Structure 1
């Protein structure tokens, strides 16, 4: 119903542009602070981690 009354598909809002271009995003305060990836023990990847029998992978060597 909203599309019939006033479609805004052709309008690009400033907020959309800012989010898409990540305007205003600040760099991380310290190198290596990005923790978005899950840590996995390097020994677990080689199937040599003694703690790898737990349901969660260990984040440090055994």
Structure 2
């Protein structure tokens, strides 16, 4: 779910509004999501999510 929000094209401000969080909190969570599998940016997260969900 978290990755889907990130790779859905939303920026931190939009994610914060949707989840009722501050932008700073969203930025921290996005950073943690990218850090865990060693990803550098949201594009890599999108590819990672695609591979994980489709077996591509």
TM-score bracket for this pair, using the shorter chain length: under 0.3
TM-score by length of 1: 0.20
Higher helix content, 1 or 2 = 2
The structure with higher relative contact order (CA 8 Å, sep 6+) is 2
TM-score by length of 2: 0.22
**Computing the radius of gyration over CA atoms, which structure comes out larger, 1 or 2?**
1
